A and B are shown apart, each in its own frame.
Chain A
């Protein structure tokens, strides 16, 4: 669409606008339906963005850190820890490996046993924090080697429970995206129906316009402009309400976990502003198609 046509579509032509009688009923339906659709789209977008963020964060955090636990009798613990650290430092894909100090371990246990625990004299397993580099290590290979050389070592790389959580978050993101597509499709269907109803109701008007020499494009334009503006207006209102709804939700917090993170962050707040433009584009295309089809059917 050329810039001139776009400007004409938005500013319009007061005279041209009058040739098609105003139709209260379809106008209100279109406004309401596009408002409702835009409102739903805001939430689908929020869901999709939030679960996407969550999937990325979980995948990132959980993939990077693993824990090696040395379950050995007290007298062998230090030797096995040293041995394990040597192996870890030789393993490709391990960025760093560090045995937790007894203070750190005590801090980890404090919530359960209190802070006065004589941790050195108890058979508490020694923990080693393993940080992966970009490539990551081969966990099966590492396990086999540890089994052979450090009998008390258990590698806990979180993979077992990480994978389904990340998958679930990604599935949620996909669902959100599919919902937005469905909403756009439903909106196109609704605008097509409303436009067809308006075209049918104005069959006489169209005939008179053709008789006095109006081009199909002129007639189509009168309808397209109306429906596009209605979709734009209705969805702008729907988006505004939806954004207020999202804004009123509680802040993201550690305790609340996923649910409280459901919202927009930073630039994400600008994304819903695209919804009315998208709705207008959908309405424009749907009405153009409906009008051209209908006018093409006339003789």
Chain B
């Protein structure tokens, strides 16, 4: 699905990542971990095309991401659901419309999706908050709304950046549950987190591989977790 080949990245102040090669196979579940500032968010952005690598190549769905024009990039975004670390929403629209935003901008008929949308809201436990505005949500509610928005177009790949950053243990278990269910439906999942307990909990439920960024490189973490 997504493939990085000898990718390097540099914001201008020296190399942040060098020689990163990884392949996200269809239906796989990956965790990405590493200390704060190691470059987890950067690596995820490289995967969904928000950043172009300073060296190496990124391929998504067998297309060279660097070669895509803006319209092709927009279409790529529809095939990759992203939960951003800072969950961006349109603050003037209620939660339900924010979740439906990918449908709206891709010109889909909302009438036919109404039932799906309600079900999805129910699934992330936001039915009662459907008409609230994003600034009125708690951190955990925002992250669940972001997760709902990332899956509304039923993408093949879901990339989540610290989806449990703002929530308590119980809520993070629920979010993990949602991701595991998506994986069982055949979605490819990549989750950045520094929460080891979450990774351990996930290992009981799915075949998850753990990637760790240390000294600018990506390593496959062993069973030492």
Residues of A at the B interface (CB closer than 8 Å) are: 15-16, 18-19, 21, 204-205, 207-218, 295-296
A211-B88, A213-B75 given; name 18 further pairs at CB < 8 Å: A15-B104, A16-B104, A16-B105, A21-B90, A21-B92, A208-B89, A209-B90, A211-B50, A211-B84, A212-B149, A213-B76, A213-B77, A213-B78, A214-B105, A215-B105, A216-B70, A216-B71, A296-B70
Question: In the complex, are the beta carbons of B90 and A208 less than 8 A apart?
Answer: yes
Task: Let me know if B110 is at the binding interface, CB within 8 A.
Answer: yes
Closest A residue to B102 using CB positions: A212
The residue in A21, A208, A216 that gathers the most chain B C-beta atoms within 10 A of its C-beta is A208
A selection of 11 A-B contacts at a CB cut-off of 8 Å is A15-B110, A207-B88, A208-B89, A209-B90, A209-B105, A211-B82, A211-B84, A212-B101, A213-B74, A213-B77, A213-B105
Question: In the complex, are the beta carbons of A212 and B105 less than 8 A apart?
Answer: yes
A216 CB to nearest chain B CB (Å): 6
Q: How many interface residues does chain B have, given as a range?
A: 20 to 34
A122 CB to nearest chain B CB (Å): 92
The residue in B78, B90, B97, B102 that gathers the most chain A C-beta atoms within 10 A of its C-beta is B90
Q: Which residues of B contact A296 (CB under 8 A)?
A: 70
Q: How far is the CA of A157 from the CA of B97 in the complex (A)?
A: 79
A224 CB to nearest chain B CB (Å): 16
Please provide the chain B residues from 80 to 121 with a CB less than 8 Å away from any CB of chain A in the complex. 82, 84, 88-90, 92-93, 97, 101-102, 104-107, 110
Whether A19 contacts B105 in the complex (CB less than 8 A), given A208-B90, A211-B84, A212-B149, comes out as yes
Closest B residue to A21 using CB positions: B92
Question: In the complex, are the beta carbons of B90 and A205 less than 8 A apart?
Answer: yes
The 9 closest A-B pairs by CB, nearest first: A213-B77, A214-B105, A213-B78, A21-B92, A212-B102, A208-B88, A215-B74, A15-B104, A212-B101
Task: Let me know if B153 is at the binding interface, CB within 8 A.
Answer: yes
B37 CB to nearest chain A CB (Å): 23
Q: Which residues of A contact B97 (CB under 8 A)?
A: 18
Q: How far is the CA of A208 from the CA of B101 in the complex (A)?
A: 10
Residues of B at the A interface (CB closer than 8 Å) are: 50, 70-71, 74-78, 82, 84, 88-90, 92-93, 97, 101-102, 104-107, 110, 149, 153
B82 CB to nearest chain A CB (Å): 7
Q: Which residues of A contact B70 (CB under 8 A)?
A: 215-216, 295-296
Q: Which residues of A contact B78 (CB under 8 A)?
A: 213
Whether A213 contacts B153 in the complex (CB less than 8 A), given A18-B97, A19-B93, comes out as yes
Q: Which residues of B contact A214 (CB under 8 A)?
A: 74, 105-106
Q: How far is the CA of A295 from the CA of B104 in the complex (A)?
A: 19
A27 CB to nearest chain B CB (Å): 15
Q: How far is the CA of A208 from the CA of B105 in the complex (A)?
A: 11
B192 CB to nearest chain A CB (Å): 16
Q: How far is the CA of A208 from the CA of B145 in the complex (A)?
A: 14
Closest A residue to B104 using CB positions: A15
Partner of A212, one of B75, B76, B77, B107: B77
Q: How far is the CA of A205 from the CA of B91 in the complex (A)?
A: 9
Q: How far is the CA of A18 from the CA of B98 in the complex (A)?
A: 11
B142 CB to nearest chain A CB (Å): 13
Partner of A213, one of B90, B92, B106: B106
Q: How far is the CA of A296 from the CA of B73 in the complex (A)?
A: 13
Q: Which residues of A contact B88 (CB under 8 A)?
A: 204, 207-208, 211
Q: Which residues of B contact A21 (CB under 8 A)?
A: 90, 92
Q: How far is the CA of A51 from the CA of B71 in the complex (A)?
A: 52
B160 CB to nearest chain A CB (Å): 14
Q: Which residues of A contact B110 (CB under 8 A)?
A: 15
Q: How far is the CA of A216 from the CA of B92 in the complex (A)?
A: 21
Q: Which residues of B contact A19 (CB under 8 A)?
A: 90, 93, 101, 104-105
Q: How far is the CA of A210 from the CA of B97 in the complex (A)?
A: 16
Q: Which residues of A contact B104 (CB under 8 A)?
A: 15-16, 19
Question: In the complex, are the beta carbons of A211 and B93 less than 8 A apart?
Answer: no
